[in-house]
Structure formats: structure tokens, C-alpha cells
Structure 1
């Protein structure tokens, strides 16, 4: 029986394993070696040629040398390419051209270099994979385009002249006739870089369409910073009609626009809409604000009240030549409630109007007279003539017209206890339409014969003398520029608008009214009231500082030749005492009069010698 040792068994096992695995390792290594050898041989064979199966934009260039590749690409790629069309489109419009017209052509030299280099870099595995792609027809080489000359830039300029639109910044202002509006416009700008990239991005010989890349260009003030302000401004300038009872006042857009405050302010983050992606946006954006100037609205409402108010007319008295009094009944009126109207304007004016014009019913309040008809009737039997005064003037139709028209404005007007009187406030406008004429007046110490209302100082002087005798409080009195001898010395009362008024206050507890009588050469004022127990005394006139007419002083046209009046200062004191003898007023009337003359007498003519 044979005995097999453990070592012998191990040797037999190793032999069997070698017999199995050695062939398995040797065969792949041999294959790899053969492949490497083939690849090496192929590299050598195609070192300066394209691998079989390589294409450039569908043009087969396999196995060709670089020069041959260039020739074929020039023939089968570059020439057909130049005739291919490009149609650029934007917003329904199109612009047509060709690759050749744009100077756009394939870079055949670069494409040839890429084709020759295909599959000849990297390790053996990458090269084998490249060979496999080439043999399967998957070795497709892309090409790049290049623009030669300035044709592409010129074409982009032509297209941009059609597509581009300048941005317009919105503006809003108040002009002489109303709003001055420039609507904002978002501009457009051709993105030349992006459009050129689209032109140079094609990879086929076919005709093609491209979408133009056009960017929006936002102005400093766009619609989001303008529309709301414009709406408010247009609402505020909608023609307006304001009505109180049967009286109507209309205001046009220009007048209403004057009430607006329009500002352009820096927009804060989040106040404006976000522009679309890609838009060209200024670094600083603005917006408009519209508001009402409250002070202007207040003034406008005051002026409106003047037009719409129907002021109450106080009761008055009428006096006959026989001294009989009668009552002229008062009339209640109505006034614009200015506070409510102002609030209404501030609340409504900026709200959108639904019609082409807007109408507001103005809030109004009753206007009651300060001296009612019943009061006038109650006082009537208690009143009597308490004073009268008359002054005279040379005959003159124009002076008579002014004196009679002016004096009549004060007839029967009642001055209540505590009420102040202003000559100009009660007189009203001095116009030709109201019956006044051009006549002489003293302006800056000199007569002017062409003054509307000349002679009204006669009215104020007569009134002053009639009232001052009764002891009423004198608030304002002025002397004339030069002495007028038909008035009491130092007791004249000149008036001139503006700035020279005659004012007094009824500082008694009973009403007072005036009544005038005017003739061709005189004016009289009667004062009607009740006796107050006051006594009035005037000092004699103190005259000082006499001044002769300087020889070079121009002649006054109102004075006759050879007549002159010295200048001087005149002082009068009025003392008013109550019934108990207590002084309640002591007035010092100072008057400064300039010298005046009519010029020298003409030199008498010397009779001819006999």
C-alpha cells in the first residue's frame, strides 16, 4: 500500500491551480498588449490625419490631413454657411440678413485642428474609447464662429435704431394754465453683446431665427413713482363749481392748480415697483408727491366767501329835510362757513372725480345784522339831531359829483355803542362806475387836478367837525399838505387811499347815525343820537414856525398867480368831559402845512411909446 505524504499532496494541488489560472491571466494581457500595439500603430499612422469617422458639423473629414480638412470645410461648410439666412425677431418685427453679410463664418482652421487632435490625447483607454466613437460615427467635432470686419457691429447698430427708445422721466408741475405733465416712458435698448452671442452660437448650416435681446431702460421717475401723484393732481384740477343758494362760483384748472404743492422726492426702498430682471435701472429713483397748500386753500376760501356771501344789511335811518326820521328795514343774509368749506376742500379735492367737472354745495351759515329793524324802530323816537356842520367849496361839476356820491355812502348808517368807524371801510371802492369823477386833490403837498374822487377830503373834514363837537373818541385824523382857508384852522381831516384814514369810535351807550346834505357849493353833515351830557371845548389855534414860499418853489396849479399861503404848524387841543365834569378825552391835534403859491404875477406889458 502506497503512502502519500502531506508535502506531496500540496505539490500536486499547486500544479493543478497553475494549470487553471495561468491561461486566464495570460490571454487578457496578451489582448491588451495587442490593443496597445494597435493603438500605438494607429497613432503613428494617423499622427497628422483625422481618425476615420470624424465629422465637423456633419461634414466627414475622417482620415484627411489638416490641409485636406481645411479644404473640405471651406468647400462644404464655409461656403454654404455664408449663404444661410438669419432672421432676428422682436415684438412682431423681423430683420433678415445672411451670415456672409455679417462677416460671420466658421473658424475652419480651429475646427481642423480640433478634428486632427480628436482621440490623440489621454491614456490608452481614452484613446481606444475615442477610436470606438469614431468608428461608430459618434466623433462629432463642434466648430466656432468668428465675425470678421465691422459688418456685425454695423448691423447691430441698424437694428438698434429700430428697437431702441429713449427713456423719458415723468415730470409734473404747475404752469400758468394748469398742470404741466410729461408722462414717463420706459425705454428700450438692444443688448448688443447678448444678440451678437446669439448670432455666433449656431452649430448647423441651416437657416435660423434668433430672438433679439432687448432690455428695458427705466427712467429716474417711472409710472410707479408718478401715476398716483398724477391722479391726485388731475383730481384736484377738475373744474369746480361751488354753489350757495342761487349764487355760483366756478374755478378752472389753472386756479385750482395754484393750490397744489408738487414735490419730486427720493424714493425709499420698497416704495416703487420692482423692475423686471435684466432691466437697466438708474441708481437713484424718484417719485412725485402731491398735496394741498393749506394756507393757499384758506386764502382761496376767503376769496370764495367774498363772491358767495350775501352779507346782512343792517337797518338804517332816513332823514327828511323837515327832520322826520324813518326806518329802512334791515335784511338778513347768508355767509359761507369758511372753516367747513376749508375742511371740505382739503378732504375732497384730491379724490378722483367721476365726471369732467365737480360741483360742491358749500356749507353756509345765516348772517344776522348787527342792528335789526326792530332795534331801529325801538330807538327811533329817542333820537334827535345832536350836531351839524357845513363846509363850502368852489363850484365844480366833478367836485360836486365826488362830494355828493361820497357823502351819500354814510347816510343813515348806524354806529352802535362800542363800534369803530373807518371812512374808507364804509365808503367802498372809488371808481368811475360808482359815480366818481376826476378832480383836484393834494398829493405830496401839491395839487393834482387829475385824481379820481378828488374832493372827498371835504366829506371827511365836514364829518370830523360835526362829530368832534360831540366828544366821540377820535382814533385817526390827518392834516392836508397845505392850509385850506375854507376849513377851521387846524381842524381839517384829510383822507387818501392807501394809508390816510379818518377813524373814530362811538364810545357812548347810544347809537349814532349821520345824514348828509349836498348842494352845488356846500356839504352838511347832521349827527343824530341822544344827548350824552358831554361837554367839548377847543383851544384857540396856536400857529408857529411860519415859512415863506421859497422863490424856487414850483407854482401850484390850483392857486391863482400872485397868491401865496405861508407854511406853518398849527396846534389845537380838544377837551371832552362827562356830565360830572370829569375829563374823558384830551386830544392834541398837530397840523403841519407846507407853503404854497400860484406863481408870480405876469409882468405888465409896457405900452408902446406915443
Structure 2
């Protein structure tokens, strides 16, 4: 009986007329869903075919469905078609002024690779891909600096210049410069406007940028009261292990900087170089200069003299520490730090110069003994140059080394050639040392950079291979074109000057061959007013001559250099008559 009861209960709760329609509706819904999803999936696949999504255009060119290489080719073809338009000048308007900008002059161009990358990254929705045409703007490149220069040259000063805040010192009196806002032509803004408008627009408007300095007038007044004025109220004492160093108000004023940055913000600082310069000779009281290693001749042989460390005040740290005490008007003391100062040339560097042997030597003679003014000048310049080391690749300038030769350096009046005649002049005779040095470097095979023979030939010099000097117009220069250092050694006697070059030999020999003298001219007689400035001469023939410097190595001639000079005939000057 129970099974029959159960069946009756099931039949009564689930009648056949309710169950069958529900199944039919489920089957219909599944069919509809399948019908909808099948074309949508196909649409998605279609829209995402290729690296560039379907329908994407750039400059009117459909790049959709293409890979990047093909899209780049299509875009380049369109740019080539538009080449004439793209090369045409663009009108740029700034306020009421215009400029014609040549695209090639400012690097204005479509960046094809970047544009294709942007097109490939474009991700519009599925239905936009199917039914729309999404447009991607071209990526435009422009040289911001060249564009800014071109615009400024064309439109000049536009807008209102910004007045940057500052505080300057008139002696030790601080003077404020208050900020003023402005409207300026900004390079980044101009470049952005051109990128956005070109190439579709033939005229682009560049707006001016409103600039407001970050430091206000109130900020400037506060800096005046809290730092600028108390900073110069008195000296600051720097204490070191070698004693105290006073920093006077004048040095503070010269090194304390209140200049604004690009944003118009003032960050006070102490300029280290200006501080060292302002302290001047006072630094010698606490600093010890380092000594470079060098090479000297000891017993006729090169010897390395070791360098020594020095001590230097750490003015970079001092500048930072000064800012902490400058706002105060009392208790103005700062601890200074002395750091090791290393020589510019170390012992190892001096040894590596390869100064091992005497490469050349040259001597010229003079008269009058060492007490004569001319002889004094020769010895003075020789002493100045003695021991000079010329590094590999370095050019030596005699004028640059000695500076102007004057009475203060110990030079005296002696005959010099001025306006074609001998007259007394400070430093007369230094040309003889110049000729001696020139020949020493000449026979060492070093590169001749600058020299000029005398206008008249003097028998104490070799013809053609000699040089005069006159500060600052006439100089003697040579370049050390060897891989070794060059040491200049000078020595003298009562009637001669000698210059020797020490290094490492490059050539077996360097010699001179002279050609015959030609175009010989005879001196004329010239009468001069008698007096202390008149120097009589016997006259010297004029002539033209050639000389060849010949380099030999391993028994062979490597090369030869030709030198030529035309000497004027020195007149026979007669004082009076």
C-alpha cells in the first residue's frame, strides 16, 4: 500500500502539463544564446586580426589588420605622397606676431615607428572595431632647443619677462631684488603646441606661459632680515689644527649667493670657488701646498724627486657650515677641516715619463760677460725655463711660460729690433735664448709649432734655423709629439748659453742640410739722430736660403722638412753725420 501512496503523491505535485513547457523554454534559450555567441566570437577574432586593430587609421591611412612592418611601410608611403606639404613652412603665431618655421630646420617630422606602436596599442571596444573607424594621432618629433631658438629669432621679446628674486651685495650692503610674475615663451609649451597641431594645421598658435616665482616678496624680506644682513655683521673665525682663519664680512658678501633656481625659489648657498678667491692669501696661513714629483738631473743623470702631500682647507664643507652661523651676530666660530692635498704628479707618473737620456743639446755664444744687460736677460729667461717638463702631447709656449718679460722680473734694457733698427728695449737678448731653445728642440726631432726668424741675419745664429721673440705678438712654441716626457735643461757660462733636451730617443739622428744663398742684397747707409737710442751697425747682406731637417732611423732617412726664409739687408746705421 505504501508504494502506491508514494506514486500518487509524486503525480499530484508534478503534473505532466507543468513539466513539459519548462524544458521547451530551456532548449529555446540555449539555442538563442548559441546563435548570438557564435557571430560575436567570430567578430572578436576578426577585430583582433593583425598587430594593428581593425579599423585604425592614421592621417587617413587604414592600418587596421596589418603587422607593424606593413603598417610602417603604408604610413611612410603616405608621408612620401605628402612630402611637399610636410616640407612647407609652418606659420607659428605667438600673441600678435608670427614666424615661418622650416620643419627641417627644427627637426619637425612624423616618427613613424612611434606612431605605428601607438596604433598597435589602440584598444577600442569590439563594436567600435566593427562599426567605427578609430583614429590615432601621429607621433610628432621636434627639436625643442632649435624650435625655441628659431621662434625667439623671429618674434623677439614677447609677453612680460619674469623678474627672478635675488639678493645681491653692494660691498657689504645687501640689496633686494623683488620677484615679478611674467608671461613667457616656454620651449616645452611651444614644442607641445607644434606636435599637437602639425601636420594637419598649417598655422599653429603657441600660448605664452604664465610664470610666478616660487619665492615671494615677503620671502625676500625675511631672507634679508634673518640671513643677508646678519651674515655681514662681523667676521667668522674658522678654527683649524694649524691655527685660526678669519673670514671677513667682505669675503662673506662675495661668496654668499641668493640666486633663484628655474622655479624662482631662492636657496641660499656659499660659492666655494668665490670663497677661496675671497680668502686669498689668508689661506696660506692654514694650508700647505703639495709638491709634485719631478725629474731632475743629479750627477748628469735623470732622477725622480718624490712629491709630498699638502694640506687643504675643505672649503666645500666650510661653506655648508657657515650657513649655520651666518644668521647669528655673536658666537661666530666654525671648525674647519684640513684634508690631504695630493700632488698633481705622483712618483709613479714621474717615473713613467721615460726621461732617461740626453736627446739633443745646442749652444750659442755671446759677448760682454754676465754683467752686461743683454747677458743678464739671457740668463734670466734661461733660469725661468730650466727644469721645465713638457708632457707627451703638450705644447710648450715660451711667452706662455714666462709671461711678459719686464723690469719686475729682473730684465734690463738691451738692443732689440724695432721698426727695422736696433733700439734699447727691456728684455733685449732673449731672442738668443729662443734660438738656442728652438735648435735644441729642432735637433731632438720635436714638432715645430710656431717660430719666426729675425728680419736680419746675425752670424751668432745658424741661418734660417733661428727664432726671435717679442711679447705678446711673436712666440716660440713646440709640441712634444713623442710618448715620453721632455725635460728642458739650461746652463750658461760667461760667454755662452746651452739648452739640452732630455727624454728617450726616437731617431738615430736629426741633421740639417742648407741650400745655397740666393737673391743677395747689399746694405744701404742710413744716418740717424745721435743720442742714447741710436745704435750704430756695420750693415749685413740680405739673402734667401733653404734648410732641410732630415730624420734618420735604422740607417734610413725617414723624412725631411723644408724651412725657408728671406733676410733683409740690415742697413749700415750711422749716428749723426
TM-score (structure 2 length as normaliser): 0.49
Work out which of the two has the higher radius of gyration on C-alpha atoms and give 1 or 2. Answer: 1
Q: TM-score scaled by structure 1?
A: 0.47
